[in-house]
Amino acid sequence: MEQCRESGDWLCLMNCHLAASWMNSLERLQEQGAAEGDKIDSEYRLWLTSMPTPVFPVPVLQSGIKITNEPPKGLKANMGRTFSDLQDEQYDAANGTEKEQPFKKLLF
């Protein structure tokens, strides 16, 4: 996490609800990062995925942008909806940028 902050990379931590015992550490790491603001690259992004859970630290929720999605009625239907909503312009918007490869990997 620290390395990504300094280099401007993107980091995705998935299924955070399964690591309830680690949530306090996540909160501490986020607070430390805010205190050391001069070391954070402007391109740094931290993506967290989680099911609704009462153990998720409120300060982490308050410092981020929340994106919610209705529960899928099956994986096939969910993937179909996701890719049908994706426009060619959105997919190609990252072409030629520094983050083209990570964006397309994350999207994939």
Task: Give the pLDDT means over successive 10-residue stretches in the chain (108 positions).
Answer: 87 90 88 71 88 85 79 77 82 84 81
Please state, in angstroms and rounded to a whole number, the distance separating the CA atoms of residues 61 and 79: 26
Task: Check residue 14 and give its pLDDT.
Answer: 92
- The H or E element that residue 46 is part of is strand 45-48
The answer to whether 56 and 17 have CB atoms below 8 angstroms apart is yes
User: Domains in the chain, please, with CATH?
Assistant: 1-68 (3.40.50.300), 70-108 (no CATH)
Task: Check residue 72 and give its pLDDT.
Answer: 62
DSSP three-state, residue 98: coil
Look up the pTM and report it.
0.56
The answer to whether 13 and 46 have CB atoms below 8 angstroms apart is yes
